[in-house]
C-alpha cells in the first residue's frame, strides 16, 4: 500500500470522503524521549463528499489561526506552523537604503497586509542591526506579523525574536537540533542545501536565484525548470527567490514552489 493509498483509505474510513488530489507537504521527525515518531504529512487539495464522524470521533472545523489555541502533541507543532505560512515572503533589505528607509519600506509592506517578512541588513554592525530589529519587531508585533531576522540563531534569541532566517553559511554553522522556540527558515542554492535543510527540519527554505537579479548580477540563475526538478524532491516548503515577485505566484506554484520571495518586486507594490 502506497502512502497515497493509505491516506485515501484512512480518510474514507474516518471521514467518509474520497480524495482526488493530494501532495507531500512535510516530513517530521520528533523525539519524545521514550518514543521517536516520523510524520509523513500530505496536503489534500481536493476531495468528494462531506466530512463526517464515521467512527463517532469528535469533529470540528477550526480556522487556521485558531489552531494554536488547542493542545496538540509536540510533533504536530511543525504542521501548525506550516499551515500559518503565507505564499508571499517579502524582504526588507539594506540595498534599498539605510535604517530609516528600511522602516519606511517595512511600514509599506505591513500596510499591504503581508503576514511574514524578512529583515536583512548585512551592512549594519551588530549594535545598529539590533536597534533596527527591535523597532521592526515592535511594528510587526502590533500587526500580528511574523518578522524573520536575517542573522544567527544566537543573535535572534538574544533579541527575543520569534523567527530567524539563516544564510547558507549561518545554517551550516548552526548547532542541531534547532531551537524549538524559534521559527527557522534558511537560504539554499543547491539540491544539497535543500536536503540538509529538510534533515534539520527547518520551517521552510528559500531557493535562489531563479532568474538574474540586480542585487546579484554575477550569480548563475537556476531557471524555473531546474528549480522545479530540485524542489519536487523534497517534502519541505520551498520559496522561489531571484527575479520573481507577487505577480509570479501562479507560475511559481506550477513550478513546485510553495511561494515567492523578493526585495524590489514587493517594494514596488508599496510605492
Over range 225-252, report the average pLDDT: 95
50 shares its domain with 168: no
Residue that is last in its domain, among 62, 79, 96 = 79
151 shares its domain with 224: yes
Least confident of 19-33, 100-114, 193-207: 19-33
- pLDDT tens for each residue of 65-78: 899 899 999 999 98
62 shares its domain with 94: no
Over range 58-65, report the average pLDDT: 92
Cell numbers representing residue 164 in the block? 530567524
103 shares its domain with 159: yes
User: How far is residue 26's CA from residue 39's CA, in Å, rounded to a whole number?
Assistant: 8
pLDDT at 268: 63
Place of cell 545554517: 171
Total domains in the fold of the chain: 2
- pLDDT tens for each residue of 140-172: 999 999 999 999 999 999 999 999 999 999 999
Helix (H) or strand (E) holding 80: helix 77-83
User: How far is residue 8's CA from residue 17's CA, in Å, rounded to a whole number?
Assistant: 8
Nearest to 165 by CA among 120, 102, 223: 120
User: How far is residue 91's CA from residue 4's CA, in Å, rounded to a whole number?
Assistant: 36
Nearest to 194 by CA among 250, 245, 258: 258
Give the mean pLDDT of the chain: 94
Q: What is the CATH number of the domain that holds 17?
A: 3.90.79.10
Question: Do residues 161 and 134 lie in contact, with contact meaning Cβ atoms separated by under 8 Å?
Answer: no
- pLDDT tens for each residue of 83-127: 999 999 999 999 989 999 999 999 999 999 999 999 999 999 999
71 shares its domain with 107: no
266 shares its domain with 149: yes
User: How far is residue 202's CA from residue 198's CA, in Å, rounded to a whole number?
Assistant: 6
E strands within 153-214? 163-166, 183-188, 204-207
Question: Do residues 163 and 147 lie in contact, with contact meaning Cβ atoms separated by under 8 Å?
Answer: yes
144 shares its domain with 20: no
Q: What is the CATH number of the domain that holds 213?
A: 3.20.20.70
- Residue span of the structural domain in which 90 resides: 85-270
pLDDT at 23: 83
| ∠ CA 253-259-260, rounded to 5° | 110
Nearest to 260 by CA among 111, 269, 144: 269
Checking 217-226 for CB contacts under 8 A at 24+ apart, the result is: 224/251, 224/255, 225/255
Question: Do residues 166 and 186 lie in contact, with contact meaning Cβ atoms separated by under 8 Å?
Answer: yes
Amino acid at each position: 500500500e502506497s502512502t497515497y493509498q493509505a491516506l485515501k483509505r484512512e480518510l474514507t474510513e474516518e471521514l467518509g470522503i474520497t480524495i482526488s488530489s493530494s501532495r507531500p507537504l512535510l516530513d517530521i521527525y520528533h523525539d519524545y524521549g521514550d518514543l521517536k515518531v516520523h510524520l509523513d504529512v500530505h496536503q489534500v487539495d481536493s476531495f468528494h463528499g462531506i466530512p463526517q464522524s464515521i467512527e463517532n470521533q469528535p469533529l470540528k472545523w477550526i480556522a487556521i489561526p485558531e489552531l494554536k489555541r488547542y493542545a496538540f502533541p509536540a510533533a504536530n507543532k511543525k504542521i501548525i506552523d506550516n499551515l500559518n505560512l503565507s505564499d508571499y515572503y517579502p524582504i526588507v533589505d539594506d540595498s534599498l537604503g539605510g535604517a530609516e528607509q528600511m522602516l519606511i519600506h517595512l511600514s509599506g509592506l505591513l500596510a499591504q497586509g503581508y503576514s511574514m517578512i524578512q529583515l536583512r541588513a548585512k551592512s549594519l554592525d551588530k549594535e545598529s542591526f539590533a536597534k533596527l530589529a527591535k523597532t521592526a519587531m515592535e511594528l510587526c508585533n502590533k500587526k500580528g506579523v511574523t518578522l524573520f531576522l536575517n542573522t544567527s540563531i544566537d543573535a535572534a534569541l538574544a533579541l527575543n525574536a520569534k523567527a530567524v532566517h539563516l544564510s547558507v553559511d549561518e545554517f551550516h554553522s548552526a548547532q542541531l537540533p534547532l531551537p524549538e522556540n524559534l521559527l527557522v527558515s534558511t537560504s539554499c542554492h543547491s539540491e544539497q542545501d535543500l536536503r540538509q535543510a529538510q534533515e534539520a527540519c527547518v520551517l521552510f527554505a528559500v531557493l535562489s536565484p531563479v532568474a538574474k537579479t540586480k542585487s546579484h548580477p554575477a550569480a548563475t540563475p537556476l531557471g524555473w525548470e531546474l528549480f522545479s526538478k530540485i524542489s519536487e524532491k523534497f517534502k519541505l516548503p520551498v520559496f522561489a527567490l531571484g527575479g520573481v515577485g507577487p505577480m509570479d505566484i501562479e507560475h511559481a506554484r506550477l513550478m513546485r514552489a510553495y511561494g515567492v520571495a523578493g526585495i524590489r518586486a514587493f517594494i514596488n507594490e508599496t510605492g
